[in-house]
Structure 1
């Protein structure tokens, strides 16, 4: 089940937009002048499918409709008349073929709860969040990194209010949302608000962290988990290896040449896993087999060995492909600034420079030492490869931020490589003709009403 078209009417009380998605190409690009609602559309889509109704209420629109490739559709209607006197603020209708539509009315929060939500986002209450920007030193990095202060604080607000569950959703709505996965990558992506347990109280309070550092730590954890899984699989197979060799029936179909080819393939796979940081070099036990060493008894043992190693290394298949593609794309960009990225189970991102600086003898850089554009590229690509489940619709707001023109030109090609590997659909909003290049067939232009 995939989204084939999105439409909105009365956006900001002005705009009516229709956005057909490119189902076959899997990439749709929306563009328009500033203020036409590109970001708002992405946020409405994300807010609805991820049940962030607080965010959904904050965006002014009259009607939002999503049509699917199975001829069903869902419609979100906002009550814009007599809002103060009405309990019902949002109505959600689901249309399935010729059947009568089913509806769900999202009621307004009571005045007490509404007051609490407003208080939590008051200017006074945001002072600690603003102070945190200064205390972490992030306010002193660059104008470019603090230009989205309102987005940072909105992220703080969204995180603190995301636990408000106003009503139980009906089964049909929960089922719909379980079939459609939406992931929004916002324009502000260099800082993350993450839950942090307070020592004074049991509740979790938001804490701010550089996104590139958070993702480096996260990748290290993913790599460690896979290595533990590899160890567990290895122990299980090694424990039963002798008995399986004894019971293995001689194979007349497996030739010596085929066996040598399989062994060479295993060594190539193992070398690749070492290169991307998933295996250590001491794990690379070379297994050189000479033709005269293979007889019927060793062939049976080696046949079982090959099957076991294939099972062990298959644990890494998915993450290795993603790391390999990330490494390829990033190093193609970083080469211009004399940097290189590799990966390790201990550190996650391992960034080095080949430039001899008189100011520093260190060849190793922290993720936060990267430029704004380099961080934007690394964060965006990592999120696409590691943070999104297959068959999701990923909406990207302004992918061109801080990127050099040459990187923008390459972005669509990189995106196509990622969508093929991860089975994603992309909806992105951009102002950059350099990203679009000659692929205007993938674009939808948002227009205003005739004056």
Structure 2
């Protein structure tokens, strides 16, 4: 692997004691040798559009995605159990090399610019061990699994495998920091299914409120975010309104240059465009959109000072919604494109609403088709659960998508990527999903 990236010009990074979770940047290249004993794979990742892995069954598409996910989460037990020789992840700002020296033993090496290479030896035998009863108790306490006996054996094994403890005493800080240095989200068809999740316990309460479907949990999360940002908007409005007259008189008396009527009108149109965008998303009421200011005395300097101060305040108030608007607007537009005969809106009283355009009646999220629920949950994960810079890996998305949606999926993800700052790696068998984008395809068939 060419590690010449380490020689590229760049300022010396801060010492480890100053920055615990220095980001590696985006993943640019992945390679693995001897996977399952005979596969050698390597490919570049496209950070602007989804990278698409293809290959026959058994070539390791899912394993490649899982290996990246395990590394991101710092779970080396599963990685130590698969057969491979060397695995290299090349990032924008770092290179991580993992060698399997024997069964259950890994050698990790991290290289960064201007820093000494770091090494760590992982041993499967050194993992902490708990008795089955202790393991079940720990899981119940850690992740709220109370009805353990109702889970299937596969579900129990999945949870034990996912949350298996690893030794912390000999783990260096750079290894413990991997989830923050290299954020990744692994999405499988199973995770997109309309599973049911427990509501959080009431603060100070000892009982679980109940169980809700995953899509209901997503709707609740969106509604909480909307209310939080509306509260911020209200606070900003009160603060600015409180001293608005004083600032107007200060602007008039200071004789500041606010430009002419054309400048004020242009500023007004920009504020109107922002208002319209927020009203379309449902974050403000359409009644807040004014018709025109052409009838105001824009040739009067005092009037211009007043209007300019008002517009500046309005822009500052509306800007409190911007972090949410950047996620909510593409989310709603995504659903509107894929949901037929349905209206998507944010209601002032009830929050997120889905209604039939045929009957006008509200539709409960749990009464959407399974495919519509899966699209909702996926879009929520990508826009509300994955922070910027996250590598989102989706295994066989065609299992969750209607065939008509598959043909636009790459474009959908490209649009979401631009809005969320995430980037994507897909594994698929679907020619419809690839839709002629051979430039994004990376074949593992050799």
TM score, norm. by length of structure 2: 0.79
Does the 8 Å CA contact 1:106/1:167 hold for their aligned counterparts?
Answer: no
1:404 corresponds to 2:402: yes
What is the count of residue pairs matched by the alignment? 411
How far the C-alpha of 1:100 sits from its partner, in A, is 6.7
> Which segment drifts farther, 318-327 or 291-300?
291-300
Aligned counterparts, 1:184-199, within 5 A: 184-188=186-190, 189-190=192-193, 191=195, 196-197=200-201
Aligned counterparts, 1:368-387, within 5 A: 368-387=366-385
1:302 corresponds to 2:310: no
CA separation of 1:33/1:238 partners in 2, compared to 1, >3 Å: closer, same or farther? same
CA separation in 2, counterparts of 1:200 and 1:162?
29
How far the C-alpha of 1:58 sits from its partner, in A, is 5.3
The one of 354, 358, 373 equivalent to 1:351 is 354
CA separation in 2, counterparts of 1:419 and 1:377?
16
2:118 aligned partner:
102
1:327 aligned partner:
332
3-state DSSP of counterpart to 2:429: coil
1:246 corresponds to 2:249: yes
3-state DSSP of counterpart to 1:29: strand
Aligned counterparts, 1:90-239, within 5 A: 90-96=106-112, 101-108=117-124, 113-116=129-132, 120=136, 128-129=147-148, 131=150, 150=154, 156-157=159-160, 161=163, 166-167=168-169, 169-173=171-175, 178-188=180-190, 189-190=192-193, 191=195, 196-197=200-201, 209-239=212-242
How far the C-alpha of 1:110 sits from its partner, in A, is 5.8
CA separation of 1:117/1:342 partners in 2, compared to 1, >3 Å: closer, same or farther? farther
Question: CA deviation digits over 1:132-183, x for unaligned, max 9?
Answer: 79xxxxxxxxxxxxxxx94x55664466x26766446424445665442222
How far the C-alpha of 1:242 sits from its partner, in A, is 1.8
1:11 aligned partner:
35
Question: CA deviation digits over 1:346-389, x for unaligned, max 9?
Answer: 55531111345xxxxx7111111111211122221222222222
Question: CA deviation digits over 1:97-126, x for unaligned, max 9?
Answer: 7987421123446687254499649xxxx9
CA separation in 2, counterparts of 1:91 and 1:208?
43
Q: Which runs of 5+ in 1 are unaligned?
A: 84-88, 134-148, 357-361
Q: Aligned-residue CA RMSD in angstroms? A: 3.6
CA separation in 1, counterparts of 2:127 and 2:326?
52
Does the 8 Å CA contact 1:46/1:182 hold for their aligned counterparts?
Answer: yes
1:48 corresponds to 2:67: no
Q: Which runs of 5+ in 2 are unaligned?
A: 1-24, 138-144
CA separation of 1:65/1:201 partners in 2, compared to 1, >3 Å: closer, same or farther? farther
